[in-house]
């Protein structure tokens, strides 16, 4: 993996369903991984910063895991609500301390 | 606490012109980073300012320059605009320049939408 890749690009889920998406990043020279939540017409909001292999972070119904050896992070949303509808961005500065790369995001729409 | 503010919200320019975008960081923050987000892409890091100096820079040409003022606010200048410069420009502030992505949480502004015709 040379770039930060996110999948899926978009998804629709029903209210109450749980969902998850993936961020893949270069595993060499890993420094930190960030997840952001970006609602339309608003500013990106930081959700988590993760640095250690095996890290798990949780904020309410949203949680994230990190595997730095294989270069991936999962974001989980339990019991999705319409207000969870947003684009979820991950960003990593693997591959060099000063090289920061954002993924293109996963656009989530929760259908009431 | 006003958070990160950016101005203007939208801007339309023509090729060859110059543009200046402005950012005021969150209260208490001293570091400002600028990002460009083109349609369908993730934000691309342009540069970071701390103590009124450019500390780090992404892969952007010299047409992109910036400035940070003593009150920590910042400007992004783009000269000789190209059609490809059309994008959303995001500003983010943090406390301390410890790497572009550090353990210090970044707070983003709402962005300036630049359209180059």
Query: How far is it, in rounded angstroms, from Cα A5 to Cα A7?
Result: 7
Residue A41: burial class (beta carbons within 10 Å; 0-12, 13-18, 19+): exposed
Range A64-70 average pLDDT: 95
What string of DSSP letters covers chain A? --S-EEE-SEEEEETT--EEEEEE---TT---EEEEEE-TTS--EEEEEE-STT-EEEETTEEEEEETTTTEEEEEESS--GGG-EEEEEEE-TTSTT--EE---EEEEEE-
Query: How far is it, in rounded angstroms, from Cα B46 to Cα A44?
Result: 17
Among partner residues A46, A92, A98, which is closest to B106 by beta-carbon distance? A46
Residue B80: burial class (beta carbons within 10 Å; 0-12, 13-18, 19+): exposed
Confidence of residue B97 (pLDDT cuts 50, 70, 90): low
Q: With an 8 Å Cβ cutoff, are A102 and B43 in contact?
A: yes
Question: Higher model confidence: residue A98 or residue B71?
Answer: B71
Query: How far is it, in rounded angstroms, from Cα B34 to Cα B116?
Result: 19
Whether residue A88 has pLDDT greater than 90: yes
Among partner residues B100, B103, B105, which is closest to A51 by beta-carbon distance? B103
Q: Give pLDDT tens digits for B2-32.
A: 799 999 999 999 999 999 999 999 998 999 9
Task: Give B54 to chain A, closest Cα distance, Å.
Answer: 13
Residues of A in contact with B101 (CB under 8 A): 31-32, 34, 49, 91-93, 100
Does B2 lie at the interface with A, CB-CB under 8 angstroms?
A: no
Question: Higher model confidence: residue A29 or residue B110?
Answer: B110
Whether residue B58 has pLDDT greater than 70: yes
């Amino acid at each position: 993996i040379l770039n930060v890749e996110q999948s899926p690009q978009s998804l629709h889920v029903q209210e109450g369903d749980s969902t998850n998406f993936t961020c893949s990043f270069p595993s060499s020279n890993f420094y930190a991984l960030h997840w952001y939540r970006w609602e339309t017409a608003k500013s990106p909001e930081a959700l988590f910063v993760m640095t250690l292999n095996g890290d798990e972070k949780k904020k309410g119904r949203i949680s994230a895991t990190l595997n730095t050896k294989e270069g991936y992070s999962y974001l989980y949303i339990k019991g999705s609500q319409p207000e969870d509808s947003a684009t979820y961005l991950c960003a990593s500065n693997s591959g060099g301390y000063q090289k920061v790369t954002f993924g293109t995001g996963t656009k989530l729409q929760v259908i009431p | 606490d006003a958070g990160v503010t950016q101005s203007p919200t939208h801007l339309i320019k023509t090729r060859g012109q110059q543009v200046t975008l402005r950012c005021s960081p969150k209260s208490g923050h001293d570091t400002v980073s600028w990002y460009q987000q083109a349609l369908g892409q993730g934000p691309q890091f342009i540069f970071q300012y701390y103590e009124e100096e450019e500390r780090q820079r992404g892969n952007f040409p010299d047409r992109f320059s910036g400035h940070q003022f003593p009150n920590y606010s910042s400007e992004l200048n783009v000269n000789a605009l190209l059609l490809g410069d059309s994008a959303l420009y995001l500003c983010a502030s943090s406390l301390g320049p410890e790497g572009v992505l550090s353990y210090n949480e970044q707070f983003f502004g709402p962005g300036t939408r630049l359209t180059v015709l």
